[in-house]
Every structure is written in C-alpha cells, then in structure tokens.
Amino acid sequence: MRTADGRIVLGLHRSGHARDLLEAAADLGIKRIDTASNYLRHRSHEILKSTAGDLLPHFSLSTKVGFFPEGHSVDPARLRTAVEQAVKDLGREPDVVFLHNPEHSASDTGRLGLACAALADTARAGLCRSWGVSTWDPRPLVDCDVPCPDVLMVRAGLLVGVDVLEAAESLATRWRPSLLWGMSPFGGSTAQQVWERFDPRVFLRESAPATKAQAAFRSAYGLPRVDAVAVGTDNVDHLRELTEALAYEVDENVVQEYRQLLKARQLA
C-alpha cells in the first residue's frame, strides 16, 4: 500500500459504492472518503457497511446530514438524530459530519448557528470526531455567524464563478475553520463541452506531461486555496491519474491572471 497524504478525498456522490473502488483507493494511499446520508438514494451508509465495512477503518470517513427523504432541514433535533442514525448504519463514528448545504433552508439561516451548535454537540458527545459545513452555494451564508467549524467544504476549481469563489473565501475568513476542503473540481462531469473547448494545462508550470483532467484537478487546489479536494470517480485508472496529478505544480501567476479575468468579466 502506498503512503499518501490526505489531500484527495474520494467523494461518493455519483458512485455505485463498489468494493473494488474502495480497495483500489486504499491501495493508492487515499486516506479520506466522503459520503452523505442521502447519497445512493439514502442508502449510502448501510451499503458502505455491508459491502466494505472491513475497509472503512483504512479511511477517514466524512458524511453529511441535512437532506432527509421528506426534504431538507436544519432542525437541531433532526440533525442529531441523523448523526445517531449514521453511526448505527455505518457501524462506526464518522470522522467528520457536515451540515449539508444549509443554504437549502435559506429562510432558516437565522437558525444556522443552532444547527451548527447541534453538530458541535454530537462531536463533544463522541458521535463523530469533528464537524463541519459543506455548502454548494455559500452566498446566502456570508452574513451568518456560527461556532468555528473543524472543516468547511466549498466548491473548487476552474468552473466556479467569481461570486461563489469570493463568498467561499469570505466565509472561510469569517468562520475560521481548521481545514478548508474543495469539492467537485470538474463541476460534476468531465463530459461537459467546456472541457473540450479549453486546455487547463496552461495552469501548470512548465510543460508538465499532464492530462487535461489532471491539470483541471490540480488547479482546483488554488481556486480557492484548499487543503484537500473531494473528487468523484468510479474508475480506478482515473483515480490513479488524480493521485499522480498532485506531483504537478500550479503556476500561481496564471491563477492570479485568471482570477482577474473572472473579476473583470463580473464587473463588465
């Protein structure tokens, strides 16, 4: 088994949760997997336990609560019950439990602090090691105050608009998480036309022999600057390609120029 750091988080949002994939991830030295109570039609936790329960101790496991079969909720009591259920379904305490897309209960952002406090309580009670907030669209949250999360997860990469990028950065400044994670570096799919139309290798230093997917993935660590990136794949070759991408260096000047272009376009 290779040793790798925790900079890649294997995200299971679009995954079939095949055992082979998790075995390969462990072999590639991937240390983190990320799921949510609602992934795989609300069955991700129980499927993980039944197909790969013995592999789970190899990983730091994060999950998310907030989406219920009846809809989204940030109600503190429901969130606590969801964490208790996650522990039962997984057969272990998660390392991180995120509040999942709290912006979905936008009219409830006044209660966001209470929802976060409820998750912090579950960590104190030993139901999980740490807690965080994962947000697809941080813009409605930028004026909210919450207890300091252990991890904040935001969208990252070349497809993130400047308004979302800036909102994520201001949330990180305001909430001071111990770790900032990025997610969805391909915007959910590498089959989108945008990836055919432009070559993200311009973001890498010198002429690295990288693939376009590697360049897009590696660039995501700087937009915004994050400690780890949650990326999805069910393909072991793709996963290997992603682990190898970490060796490439990003040209910070190109990233800065790109940000200036995004900003100029927003203001135009």
Ligand X SMILES: NC(=O)c1ccc[n+]([C@@H]2O[C@H](COP(=O)([O-])OP(=O)(O)OC[C@H]3O[C@@H](n4cnc5c(N)ncnc54)[C@H](OP(=O)(O)O)[C@@H]3O)[C@@H](O)[C@H]2O)c1
Question: In the complex, which residues of this chain contact ligand X (CB under 6 A)?
Answer: 11-14, 34, 64, 100-101, 134, 136, 183-190, 213, 230-235, 238, 241-242
Task: Give burial (CB, 10 Å; 0-12/13-18/19+) of 216.
Answer: buried
Q: Which residue is nearest to ligand X (CB)?
A: 11
Which residues fall within 8 angstroms of residue 142, CB to CB, at 6 or more apart? Answer: 167, 170, 171, 174
Q: Least Å distance between CB 24 and ligand X?
A: 12
**Which CB, 45 or 100, lies closer to ligand X?**
100
**Which CB, 115 or 268, lies closer to ligand X?**
115
**Which CB, 29 or 257, lies closer to ligand X?**
29
**Which CB, 116 or 126, lies closer to ligand X?**
116
Question: Are 133 and 99 within 8 A, CB to CB?
Answer: yes
Task: Give burial (CB, 10 Å; 0-12/13-18/19+) of 231.
Answer: buried
Q: Give the position of tokens 């976060």.
A: 116
Q: Least Å distance between CB 188 and ligand X?
A: 4
**Which CB, 122 or 184, lies closer to ligand X?**
184
Q: Least Å distance between CB 139 and ligand X?
A: 14
d(CA 196, CA 251): 21
d(CA 74, CA 102): 7
Tokens read off for 203: 């973001």
Q: Least Å distance between CB 93 and ligand X?
A: 19
Q: Least Å distance between CB 55 and ligand X?
A: 17
